[in-house]
Structure 1
Amino acid sequence: MTTLRGFRRGRGGMPRPRPRGVWVASGIGIVLLLAITLGAFFPLVGFLGGVTATTAGLVPFPFVRVTLVALLGAVVVLALVVLALTRRHTATSVVAVVFAVLVALAVTIYPVVTVAISSADRAGDVWPIVTDLWQRFTG
């Protein structure tokens, strides 16, 4: 009996199949990540880029920073999804999926925060220009 147990647990045996919960958690995570990416991130970045274009740069869009954060976030999310898919325990897979969704949400919120901060800085720069133009116009 001991020999048979040792044989089953040795390297020559078949690997233990992944529990159904790992596949379910990973599938739900992938669907949520696609929904966040296609339903929130891309439309939001497109909207902010359009606002920047229509205001002639008054509302700045930090393209390089947003691109770098998006690429870094994509690498982290991809690593977490691969981690979730390769685990043998459902709880570990669920934790990896939750972290992947949180990172995706943070990457989605980043452009809004960056544009808001840049716009607030730019608005502080615009007010003196507007008052100077008003003074020139009124004499």
Structure 2
Amino acid sequence: MSTAWTGRRGTRARRPRPRGVWTASGIGMVLVLAVALGAYLPLVGFLGGVTATTAGLVPFPFVRITLVTLLGLVVVLALLLLALTRRHTVSSVFAVVIAVLVSLAVTAYPVVTIAVASADRAGDVWPIVTELWQRFTG
């Protein structure tokens, strides 16, 4: 007796992917693309513009942001592929949730990095400003 999903004779029976796996993978891809196109790219563009208009007072650590972005891209793509190849909906949903969280973390990284670097730069600028003020006043 065979079931509908056993396949050809002599092959190992594999269960087909449930509809939930396809749904979760599709939703994950849409959410990751929405974060990338709706949040990450505009944010990095804005931060790059701020750096350009302040003549370098607000630093933009290009190499670190690029490396984190590429690493995040590899991790997110691997998680979405993992979600797509699972045979259980729960494991697929888990991989999709982790992929979305990683994409949100990669989106927040440039803001945090630039804020920390700006705070460090502001700490370096203040002694110069006070020294110039003292020379000017007397």
TM-score calculated relative to the size of structure 2: 0.91
Corresponding residue for residue 58 of structure 1: 57
CA distance in 2, matches of 1:129, 1:109: 31
Q: CA deviation at 1:133?
A: 1.5
Sequence identity percentage: 76
The yes-or-no answer on 1:83 pairing with 2:100 is: no
Task: State the AA in 2 paired with 1:61.
Answer: F
The CA RMSD over aligned residues, in Å, is 1.8
Aligned pairs for 1:48-127 within 5 A:
48-127=47-126
CA distance in 1, matches of 2:19, 2:136: 73
Task: State the AA in 1 paired with 2:72.
Answer: G
CA distance in 1, matches of 2:31, 2:10: 37
CA distance in 1, matches of 2:10, 2:105: 42
Structure 1 segments unaligned to the other structure (5+ residues): none
Aligned length: 135
Task: State the AA in 1 paired with 2:74.
Answer: V
Task: State the AA in 1 paired with 2:50.
Answer: V
Corresponding residue for residue 37 of structure 2: 38
Corresponding residue for residue 16 of structure 1: 15
Residues 80-112 of structure 1 show CA distances to partners (whole Å, capped at 9, x for unaligned) of 000000001000000000000000000000000
Structure 2 segments unaligned to the other structure (5+ residues): none
Comparing both structures, which one devotes a greater share of its residues to helix? 1
Corresponding residue for residue 27 of structure 2: 28
Task: State the AA in 1 paired with 2:36.
Answer: T
TM-score calculated relative to the size of structure 1: 0.91
Task: State the AA in 2 paired with 1:27.
Answer: G
3-state SS of paired residue (1:12): coil
Aligned CA distance change for structure 1 residues 11 and 70 (closer, same or farther; 3 Å): farther
CA distance in 2, matches of 1:51, 1:67: 17
Choose 8-17 or 84-93, whichever is displaced more.
Answer: 8-17
